Amino acid sequence: MSKDYTSTIARNKKARYSYTIESEYEAGMVLVGSEVKSIRNGGVNLKDSYAEVRNGEMYIYQMNISHYAFANYGNHEPERPRKLLLHKKEILKIESKINEKGITVVPLSMYFKKGKIKLKIGLGKGKNVFDKRQTIQNREADRELHRINKFKEY
């Protein structure tokens, strides 16, 4: 029996606020060495990034992986498109969902899993302003309930 050792590197907090996530997928990424070292140092930003299907392959755009300070000639371009590694059936399923109106593929989090860097992507439908307000109200109500229950224990 093998255990899944995971540790989160980065989260896209705005994704769940701005989108209603319908389904999630785990994808590997094609990276160069300086990108991996920069990610291990925490130099990654998922904000404003998105994924698209091009020529039957999935790519992530506008994901910023900062330059690795100790790489001289082999450094990478920070916002280059990076290929995501998914099964063909998953790509076809995602592509059919993207063709529906208002569905976007957004990265939710990046993490290590058994020494490999994985990216959790989600199919999201954009929220209206009303939905965003409702999300904030629900979060505030949950916090208040947690505070009340915390004081009842004593």
Type of residue at 128: N
How many whole angstroms separate alpha carbon 108 and alpha carbon 102?
Answer: 18
152 domain residue, yes or no? no
137 domain residue, yes or no? no
Using the structure block, give the residue that is written with the tokens 């980065």: 10
CATH number of the CATH domain containing 87: 2.40.280.10
- State residue 153's pLDDT score: 63
- The H-or-E segment that residue 80 falls in is none
- Per-residue pLDDT band for 3 (boundaries 50, 70, 90) equals low
Q: Is the pTM of this model over 0.75?
A: yes
Mean pLDDT of 76-84: 87
145 domain residue, yes or no? no
- State residue 102's pLDDT score: 81
Share above pLDDT 70 across residues of the chain, in percent, rounded to a whole number: 95
Q: Where are the alpha helices (DSSP H) in 4-119?
A: 13-18, 33-40, 88-98
Reported as half-sphere exposure (CB side, CA atoms, 13 A), residue 95 has a value of: 14
Question: Residue 102 gets which letter from DSSP?
Answer: T
Per-residue model confidence as pLDDT tens digits over 17-73? 888 889 999 999 998 888 888 888 888 888 889 899 999 899 999 998 888 888 777
**Domain around 91:** 6-127
Per-residue model confidence as pLDDT tens digits over 6-16? 788 889 888 88
How many whole angstroms separate alpha carbon 25 and alpha carbon 90?
Answer: 8
150 domain residue, yes or no? no
142 domain residue, yes or no? no
138 domain residue, yes or no? no
- Cα 82 to chain centroid distance, Å, stands at 13
- Per-residue pLDDT band for 115 (boundaries 50, 70, 90) equals confident
Tokens at residue 88, please?
């063909």
99 domain residue, yes or no? yes
Residues whose CB falls within 8 Å of the CB of residue 24, separated by 6 or more in sequence, listed in order: 108, 120, 121, 122, 123
70 domain residue, yes or no? yes
Q: How many CB atoms lie within 10 A of CB 51?
A: 26
How many domains is the chain partitioned into structurally?
1
- State residue 128's pLDDT score: 81
- Per-residue pLDDT band for 1 (boundaries 50, 70, 90) equals very low
